[in-house]
Structures are given as C-alpha cells and as structure tokens.
Chains A and B, each alone.
Chain A
Amino acid sequence: MEFSTSPYLLKDTSVRRVMTQVLLALVPGIIAYVLLIGPGILAQLAIATLTALAAEAAMLRLRDKPLALFLGDGSAVVTAWLVALTFPPVAPWWLTVVGVLFAIIIAKHLYGGLGQNPFNPAMIAFAVCIVSFPALMSQWPGAGSHLAPGQQFDWIFGLTPRLDGMTSATPLDALKTALRADEGHSGPLPFLAGNAQAVIALCYLAGGLFLVWRKVITWHIPTAFLGAMGLLAGLLWLWQPAGFANPVFHLLGGGAMLGAFFIATDPVSGATTPRGKLIFAAGVGLLAYIIRVFGGYPDGIAFAVLIMNICVPLIDMTTQPKVFGMKDQ
C-alpha cells in the first residue's frame, strides 16, 4: 500500500471542475452576445479554444509535463474564452490567434504554467494586441447594430476587404468622442434599452452571481471592483453631469461586468486575503475608470488589472489576516 496520509476523505472537487463552472457561468453572456451582436463570436471562441489547446499541449510537451492531466484542467480554455470575449467580435482570426498564443505561451507557460503566472494571461494578450494593433482592436460593431452573420464571418476570416465605415468605435469611445464634442448625454435608461453591450453585461452579472453562489469566487472582488468604479463615476457625474457619463453606463459598459466577475477574480494573479481582495479589486475598478475616461484607450480593464497584478505580493503581504485567537493581540 502506498504511503498516504489523512485526510482520506476529500471533497469532490478538482481544478477542472472549478474551471468548468467558470465556463458555464460565461454561457448566458455568450448567448446574449450571439443573439444581440451576431454568431461571429462563436467562431472567435472556437478559434481561441483550439489555439489555446494546441499551444498548451505544445508547451506541456516542451516542458515535459503530463499532458492529459493539465490539458484537461480547463484553465487554457478559460483563458481562451476571455481573450475571445474581450477582443472585438469582428477581429480578424489571426488577431485572436496571436492574442491566445501570447497569453498561453508567454504570459502563462514562460512563467511556469498553471498557478505560477503573476499576470492575468488574457489581459496580457489584450494589452499586447491593443498596443500593437490599435485600429483593429478598436473596431466594434456600432451600438445596437446587429451584424449579418455572413458579413461577420467574412470579416473574421478576411474573405472580403474590410470596409472601415462598417464598424464603429465602442460605445465608450463613442461617448468619449461625444463628450469631447460637448453634445451632452441622456439618462441611463434610453441608453440601456437599445444597447446590446449592456444586456450582455447583465448576463455576465447573472453568471458571476452563479459563481459566487457556487463558492467558486467570493463576493469581495466583484463588490469592491464595481463599488469603487461606481462610486468614482457617481461622484464625478454628480459634480458635472454634462461632462461625465452616469455610473450605470460605466458599470454596464465596456468590460466592467466581465472584468469584475471573471477577469479580476482570476485567483492565480490576484490578491488572496479577504482584505487584499478588496484593495486589489477597488484598485482595478478605480484605475479602469480613470484609464477609460481620461486615457487614450477604449477601455481600461486590461491595464488596470495588469497594474494591480504588480501590486499583489505587496497587498497580500500587508493584509495577512490575524489567525485564530490572535485578534486582540
């Protein structure tokens, strides 16, 4: 009998199960995405998943690790899906491939593979691509416009030359431009009504709550993220309603919901102590707001997450919880 030690009873859980639940929680958002923006995202997801698995397998082989065990853990697929969902739905296929390869090979395996990466791989991919291909990464279908599937696939697979006029900037970008043009901005509800992004965000919210309920993530990160972002947005909006969008717009626009429940909650690169999680997520929320409103990029989640990733060791070290019985000492 091999040497084994207690506990002999183990909870029925595994990394694969955790990752599967994350993927499951993304499904409502994806469905909404397909219905409201178009089925192109399915192609993106497929491309990203295949690329990720291939890259993961190659890296595991190179690093001489057990293939079956790690390929099945689902972490590469989660990364792939996050890349696909944060990239524009009409990005050319090779852009997605480049992003995923970067995430899996450089951001994950070169740092030691599962559990070792100090930065969120999907966000590294996003940051690298938006810096390298700013134009392609900024082309989102116009708000409320449902794309014809054929056309979308054409764009993705590059069958027909892309017409710049067919896509527009993200709603955030549009807003930024609009505000700069001093056009003012209407209340939250009209914006919500016809906006695909916001509906998808609400679906992500539902998926995120599912994760909290399943105890895959704790409440700390989403709450602090959305709280901090909403608070800052609200204060600025109250101060100058004409110059700043209302907080609901910010929370439901761009990648805020996806970021709060699925990206900032990446356990490997995030803070781990309860207080640390609050600080980390609040930092991400504030930075994301500042970058998206005052910075030059359409959204700030990726950079905010990466910046806060750098601070994680410091945050964790200074927020060690007091152990049992030591609270008043």
Chain B
Amino acid sequence: MGLMQLFKFKGGVKPATNKAQSVTLPIAKAPLPSVVAVPLHQSIGGTPRPLVQVGDKVLKGQMIGEADGWISAAVHAPTSGTVREVGMYAAAHPSGLLTDCVVIEPDGEDRWIERQRVDYKALPPEQVRELLRDMGVVGLGGAVFPSHAKTQASRSVPMEELVINGAECEPYITCDDLLMRERAAEVVKGIAIFRDLLQPKKVLIGIEDNKPEAAAAMAEAVKAAGEDFQVVSVPTLYPAGGAKQLIRVLTGKEVPANKRSTDMGVQCFNVATAYTAWRALGHGEPVISRLVTLTGNVAEPRNYEVLIGTPMDELLAIAGPKPDTDGIIMGGPMMGFLVPEAKAPVVKATNCLIAHSPALFPPKAPEMPCIRCGACAQACPHELQPFQMYWFARAKNFGKTQEYNIFDCIECGCCSFVCPSRIPLVQYFRFAKSEIWARERDKKAADGAKTRFEFKQHRDEREKQEKAEKLAKAAAAQAAKKAAEAAAAAASEGAPAEVAAPAAPLATGPGDTPAGPAAAPLSPEEAAAAAKKAAIEAAMARAKALRTQTQPQNTDNLTPAQQQEVADIEARRARLREIAKTELVHADAPPAATAPAAPAAPADNSDTSEK
C-alpha cells in the first residue's frame, strides 16, 4: 500500500456502515432458481435484439440478446433450459412496470455452451472491445454502462490514471469486499485487460479503509501478478465510491458533468467489472451471474453468486428473511429502491438485496418546511445547493432547477440524509428530472408533429396547384383539339365552295396538328399561290368555326348564375375582340396569327364553367 497524497471532495456523510453482518461467511453459490427471467435491456444504451423464440432450447452462456449498436451489450442465458416466454415481465425498476424479458425454464443440467478462452493480448484492441460487448460486460457498480465503450482513450488527452473502484461506500453492501478478498487474483487480471486497452501511466485501486482484508488481498494479488498497480486506502466517507468522487480523491481531478473522464486523462472501473472482464476473455464466460449481498432483516446475511434473472423473492428466501420483512430494497439504503414487484429478476445492476422492515428503516418523519439551514449544501458532494433546487422543484419551476444544475446531482442522497426538516430532497430532484425529460420528449414530439403538419399542408397546397394546372392544361388541349376538329369540319364543308383543291390535304392535316399554322407549310408543296390563299382562308375559317363551335359546347347545362357569368365573359371577350380587330388592322402580323390566340378563349371559358 503506497503512501500517496490523497485529495478530498466536499461534503459527504457518514451513515452507519452495517457491513459487518454480511462478511462473516464466504461467498456461496445460490441454488438454481425455478425460473430465470432475463431482461433484454440491462445496460445503458440500445435494447438488445432477442435471438431466441418461445420453445427454443438454450444452453448456459448462449447469447439470447444481441447488442443493438455500439453503446449496448449482449445478454446471455444464465443456465440451460427452454425458453418459455419472450415478452413482458416484471422489471427490477422502481416503477414496477413490465419490460421485455426472455423467460427460461431451467432444465437443471446447467450445461454450458462451448467456452473459448481468448488470448486477448494477441488480438487487436478493436476486437477485444467487440468481444467484451458480446460477452455482456457492463459496469457492475450500478451504472451498467457498457464497459467496452469506456476503454477508448481520448484522442487529444493522454491517459494518465486508471482508477479501479473498490471503495464500496454504500452501507450494507459487501459484495465487492468479498470479491476482492476471495478472488483478488482474477480481479487483478481483469484490471490488466483494461490497462492494456487504455494504456494509462498508472493504475490506482481505491479501497475504503474499512476493508483492510480486501486491501491486503488485493495488494498480495498485485504483487503475485508482478503488476505495478497501487492499492490505495481511502477514508471511509459516503459517497467515496462514486466514480467522480473516487477519481477526485485519488487524482485530484474533478470531472464535470459535461465531460467524459477520458477527456481529463482518467477512467474508472469497478472491481467486479474487472473480474467479469477477465472471466469473459480468460474463461469464455459471459456475464450471466454476479455477486449479490443478501442482508438487512434476514437470519443469515451473506454474499451469494447469483444467476442473472433469478427472481428476487426466491433469492432472498435463501437468507431467511425474518417475519416482519415488508419489502426488498435493491441496491444500498442510500441510492437503492424498494422493489414494487418481489418476483422481479436480479439484473446486472443488482449488487445487494436488503430485506426491509419498519424496525430497521423506521418510517420517515413528516416533511417540515425548509429552514434554510444549509446542512444539505454542506453535505452535497457535488457542491450543489439542494435547498434551492428543492424550492424550485417543489414549485415545479423546472427551468430554475436547471439553472441550479439539477443535472449535476448524482442522487447520492446525502442531502436528504442530513436534512433536519426531513424533506425527501432526492425524490424532489428525481421528480424534477423525469419531468424535464418528459417535457423534452413532448416538445420534440410536438415539434416533429408541427413540421410534418406544415409539410403536409405545403404538399397539399402544391398538389392542389399542380392539379389545377394539369386540369387547365388538359382543358386547353381538349379545347384545341375540338377546335381543330371543328375547323377541319368547317374547312371540308366551307372550302369546296371557295377552293376545292387544297381541301383534301388540309382535311387530314389538322387532325394531327391542332393549330392552323401547321397547315401552312403544307401549302408551298402545292406551289400554288391560290393554295396558300386557300390555306389562309381555311385557317381563318377554322378560327371562326372554333369561335362559333366551342361556345355551344361549353354552355350545356349551365345554371342561371353560370350563364350570367358566361354572358359577362362573352361580353368582355367581344369587347376584347373588337380591340384586337382594330389593332390587327394596323398590325403587320399575318391574319393567321389570330388562330393560336383563339384557343385561349375557350380554355378560359371552360375553366369558368367548371368552377
């Protein structure tokens, strides 16, 4: 145990540790449960995709949920058996709601899949990380963050220290203590894996000074392994086992809420995480079990190696809960929660189950008004002003709570612990945080709905316009076609009287080409001035016919109002025609130029009647 300078974090409290009860007996293996329910979502990040179906036979250690993305970790069958259900099952969560689980009925054989040890040193680091992810290695201190994602040093800041967290500051919990006492060698091997991935300058193992046996065992194992890790005794002060607090104590660095610890050249892993990392790589065993302290109001407090997915009530029964037990606390008494559903399964985050009884945890005294004594602020390890946040959280003024940095709060419970007015401060903060998250979700959904609504409106608008345009075009085309037909008819009727010869080619021509001028190029082929004249005349006739022909077509079944409208338009048009005529007389343009202009009128007209 090296002598080194330690730092202090502000605040902190010293609750009675209550650890002695559960360290007297060595770790025992919990018997195979009657059923295991493995929640798919056990770590921060994406929910693993289920790989099995109802009725499938699975082997111990078989992957049953595959990591969904990089920040995610696989889950595995804790024992061999048959999949009974893939669906909703009670969650180890304060809400008591259901969550996606794979429920397996053990066959009692506990048969392993083929386990493969890997020599991780021979593999590229990328592959080691993938392996850790697929073995389901996550932070077992309680945060359950996928460990492989924490083994990447920052690009710009060199890794200085790797902090290994064996502080275990929460009262009652002793699973890390026992792990270090009994399996120190493997913990050290696991630490070496993280060391090799991160390449820090030094490795510091922080252990609270109320666990001298664990510290001695670790120091021994470090020496035996020939490593240069430093085992450091840190003062017992809750929450010294918080990652940020331990980093502060050992390195003097304060990792702010908005930064990753690797950005400050430091990273932190729990001892149990290191142990599972070694079991995963060195033995090919995925994370399917963990150490759980059974303590509190029980006859025989002890640490057990427990399969993930074991129902909590079944597990606690092993330790012999006393008759006045009225609940199970998962985790420690400072940060844990009362499990609303006793059959909820043990998950990777379950480090301790405490049998709750009114004698052990007396009901809370009624909440009194805050007297602004400041005790909470003095106790807060994150140097927040809990009474200010409380004030605003109580008034549901969430914006203000954020101004007072509510998201820096780690919910350690120190403030509630010391408050003389017995205010459940942390619950106010949890309430405020989840309200803020919900509001952000709602806001995002509302914004999305708004953009989609606006887009839809815009699209509808555009579609309407396009439709109108299309309609107008179609109508115009139709009108022109009809005009052409009419003209052709007029030509074939009227032309023989004036010009007989060109009538024949013209009769076919306008059928294909709607406009009059198209007929003009045909006439030079006849090479006759008369023909040309005839063509012009025909075009004029067509135009005239068009005018006379189309009108009756559009005035079928008109309402009086429409007729009135049509009459108005006709009157206007007649006036325009007068103007056009006088202008045309003066203009040099050939008379045929009036032809293309003609279809516009009926098109206009048809629109009017359609409306």
Interface residues of A (CB under 8 A from B): 1-2, 4-11, 13-15, 17-18, 66, 69-70, 73, 75, 113-116, 215, 218, 267-268, 270, 272-273, 320-327, 329
Q: Which of B131-139, B332-340, B472-480, B572-580 contacts A (4 or more CB under 8 A)?
A: B332-340
Report how far A249 CA is from B244 CA in the complex, Å. Answer: 50
- Report which of B171, B365, B371 forms a contact with A267, defined as CB distance below 8 A: B371
A321 to B361, Cβ gap below 8 A? Answer: no
Report how far A75 CA is from B381 CA in the complex, Å. Answer: 29
Report how far A14 CA is from B369 CA in the complex, Å. Answer: 11
Residues of chain A within 8 A of B377, CB atoms compared: 272-273
Residues of chain A within 8 A of B331, CB atoms compared: 6
Residues of chain B within 8 A of A324, CB atoms compared: 9-10, 244, 248, 254, 256-257, 381-384, 408
A323 to B420, Cβ gap below 8 A? Answer: no
Tell whether B155 is near chain A: CB-to-CB under 8 Å: no
Residues of chain A within 8 A of B92, CB atoms compared: none
Residues of chain A within 8 A of B94, CB atoms compared: 5
B369 to A113, Cβ gap below 8 A? Answer: yes
Q: List 28 A-B contacts (CB under 8 A).
A: A4-B364, A5-B94, A5-B424, A5-B430, A6-B335, A6-B336, A7-B334, A7-B417, A8-B334, A8-B336, A8-B356, A10-B422, A11-B418, A13-B420, A114-B371, A115-B372, A115-B421, A215-B378, A267-B372, A267-B373, A268-B371, A272-B385, A320-B385, A323-B256, A323-B382, A324-B244, A324-B408, A327-B254
Most B CB atoms within 10 A — which of A11, A69, A327?
Answer: A11
Q: What is the minimal beta-carbon distance from B431 to any residue of chain A, in angstroms? A: 10
Report how far A17 CA is from B375 CA in the complex, Å. Answer: 13
Most A CB atoms within 10 A — which of B10, B381, B383, B422?
Answer: B383
Residue of B whose beta carbon sits closest to that of A65: B369
Residues of chain A within 8 A of B416, CB atoms compared: 7, 10
B366 to A9, Cβ gap below 8 A? Answer: no
B15 to A11, Cβ gap below 8 A? Answer: yes
Residues of chain A within 8 A of B372, CB atoms compared: 115, 267-268, 270, 272
Report how far A13 CA is from B13 CA in the complex, Å. Answer: 13
Report how far A113 CA is from B381 CA in the complex, Å. Answer: 30
Residue of B whose beta carbon sits closest to that of A328: B254
A9 to B256, Cβ gap below 8 A? Answer: no
B16 to A9, Cβ gap below 8 A? Answer: yes
Tell whether B255 is near chain A: CB-to-CB under 8 Å: yes
B430 to A1, Cβ gap below 8 A? Answer: no
Report how far A322 CA is from B405 CA in the complex, Å. Answer: 10
Residue of A whose beta carbon sits closest to that of B413: A7
Q: What is the minimal beta-carbon distance from A305 to any residue of chain B, in angstroms? A: 15
**In residues 290-310 of chain B, which contact A (Cβ within 8 Å)?**
none
A5 to B408, Cβ gap below 8 A? Answer: no
Report how far A181 CA is from B149 CA in the complex, Å. Answer: 82
Task: Evaluate whether A273 and B421 lie within 8 angstroms (CB atoms) in the complex, with A5-B430, A14-B365, A18-B373 already known.
Answer: no
A15 to B371, Cβ gap below 8 A? Answer: yes
Task: Evaluate whether A115 and B371 lie within 8 angstroms (CB atoms) in the complex, with A7-B416, A9-B417, A273-B385 already known.
Answer: yes
Report how far A114 CA is from B248 CA in the complex, Å. Answer: 38
**In residues 125-149 of chain B, which contact A (Cβ within 8 Å)?**
none
Instruction: Identify the 7 closest CB pairs spanning chains A and B, nearest first.
Output: A325-B256, A7-B413, A115-B369, A325-B254, A324-B382, A8-B333, A8-B361
B418 to A5, Cβ gap below 8 A? Answer: no
Residues of chain A within 8 A of B366, CB atoms compared: 66, 69
Residues of chain B within 8 A of A215, CB atoms compared: 375, 378
Report how far A320 CA is from B389 CA in the complex, Å. Answer: 12
Report how far A137 CA is from B289 CA in the complex, Å. Answer: 76
Task: Evaluate whether A17 and B420 lie within 8 angstroms (CB atoms) in the complex, with A4-B364, A272-B374, A325-B244 already known.
Answer: yes
Residues of chain B within 8 A of A75, CB atoms compared: 371
A9 to B368, Cβ gap below 8 A? Answer: no
A323 to B405, Cβ gap below 8 A? Answer: yes
* Chain B 201-235 interface mask (CB, 8 Å, partner A; 1/0): 00000000000000000000000000000000000
Report how far A4 CA is from B366 CA in the complex, Å. Answer: 12
Task: Evaluate whether A1 and B338 lie within 8 angstroms (CB atoms) in the complex, with A8-B329, A73-B368 already known.
Answer: yes
A4 to B256, Cβ gap below 8 A? Answer: no
Residue of B whose beta carbon sits closest to that of A269: B372
Residues of chain A within 8 A of B375, CB atoms compared: 13, 215
- Report which of B326, B334, B422 forms a contact with A1, defined as CB distance below 8 A: B326
- Report which of B248, B326, B334 forms a contact with A6, defined as CB distance below 8 A: B334
Report how far A115 CA is from B367 CA in the complex, Å. Answer: 13
Q: What is the minimal beta-carbon distance from B416 to any residue of chain A, in angstroms? A: 5
A15 to B387, Cβ gap below 8 A? Answer: no
Report how far A272 CA is from B365 CA in the complex, Å. Answer: 25
B373 to A5, Cβ gap below 8 A? Answer: no
- Report which of B9, B333, B408 forms a contact with A9, defined as CB distance below 8 A: B333
Given A115-B368, A326-B256, output 15 extra A-B contacts at Cβ < 8 Å.
Answer: A1-B326, A4-B363, A6-B331, A6-B333, A7-B15, A7-B335, A9-B15, A10-B417, A70-B368, A267-B371, A270-B372, A272-B387, A323-B383, A324-B248, A325-B244
Report how far A6 CA is from B404 CA in the complex, Å. Answer: 22
Task: Evaluate whether A6 and B337 lie within 8 angstroms (CB atoms) in the complex, with A73-B368, A323-B382, A324-B408 already known.
Answer: yes
Report how far A89 CA is from B327 CA in the complex, Å. Answer: 57
Residues of chain B within 8 A of A11, CB atoms compared: 13, 15, 417-418
Tell whether B534 is near chain A: CB-to-CB under 8 Å: no
* Chain B 516-530 interface mask (CB, 8 Å, partner A; 1/0): 000000000000000
B420 to A18, Cβ gap below 8 A? Answer: yes
Tell whether B121 is near chain A: CB-to-CB under 8 Å: no
B426 to A5, Cβ gap below 8 A? Answer: yes
Residues of chain B within 8 A of A322, CB atoms compared: 383
Report how far A6 CA is from B338 CA in the complex, Å. Answer: 8
Q: What is the minimal beta-carbon distance from B434 to any residue of chain A, in angstroms? A: 12
Residue of A whose beta carbon sits closest to that of B405: A323
Most B CB atoms within 10 A — which of A7, A14, A270, A321?
Answer: A7
Residues of chain A within 8 A of B259, CB atoms compared: 325
Residues of chain A within 8 A of B378, CB atoms compared: 215, 218
A13 to B256, Cβ gap below 8 A? Answer: no
Task: Evaluate whether A267 and B361 lie within 8 angstroms (CB atoms) in the complex, with A1-B338, A5-B337, A14-B420 already known.
Answer: no
Residue of B whose beta carbon sits closest to that of A320: B385
Residues of chain B within 8 A of A66, CB atoms compared: 366
B256 to A321, Cβ gap below 8 A? Answer: no
B356 to A321, Cβ gap below 8 A? Answer: no
B255 to A15, Cβ gap below 8 A? Answer: no
Task: Evaluate whether A9 and B171 lie within 8 angstroms (CB atoms) in the complex, with A14-B365, A14-B420, A321-B383 already known.
Answer: yes
Report how far A323 CA is from B383 CA in the complex, Å. Answer: 5
Q: What is the minimal beta-carbon distance from A207 to any residue of chain B, in angstroms? A: 18
A15 to B421, Cβ gap below 8 A? Answer: yes
Tell whether B465 is near chain A: CB-to-CB under 8 Å: no
B420 to A5, Cβ gap below 8 A? Answer: no
Residues of chain A within 8 A of B336, CB atoms compared: 6, 8
Residue of B whose beta carbon sits closest to that of A327: B254
Q: What is the minimal beta-carbon distance from A309 to any residue of chain B, in angstroms? A: 12
Residues of chain A within 8 A of B413, CB atoms compared: 6-7
Tell whether B35 is near chain A: CB-to-CB under 8 Å: no
* Chain B 304-345 interface mask (CB, 8 Å, partner A; 1/0): 000000000000000000000011010111111110000000
Tell whether B563 is near chain A: CB-to-CB under 8 Å: no
B374 to A7, Cβ gap below 8 A? Answer: no
- Report which of A69, A323, A326 forms a contact with B368, defined as CB distance below 8 A: A69
Tell whether B98 is near chain A: CB-to-CB under 8 Å: no
Report how far A70 CA is from B364 CA in the complex, Å. Answer: 16
Task: Evaluate whether A114 and B368 lie within 8 angstroms (CB atoms) in the complex, with A5-B94, A323-B383 already known.
Answer: yes
Q: What is the minimal beta-carbon distance from B313 to any residue of chain A, in angstroms? A: 14
Residue of A whose beta carbon sits closest to that of B387: A272
Residue of A whose beta carbon sits closest to that of B366: A69
Q: What is the minimal beta-carbon distance from A63 to any residue of chain B, in angstroms? A: 12
Residues of chain A within 8 A of B256, CB atoms compared: 323-326, 329
Residue of A whose beta carbon sits closest to that of B264: A325
Report how far A26 CA is from B94 CA in the complex, Å. Answer: 46
A15 to B384, Cβ gap below 8 A? Answer: no
Report how far A41 CA is from B141 CA in the complex, Å. Answer: 59
Residues of chain B within 8 A of A5, CB atoms compared: 94, 337-338, 424, 426-427, 430
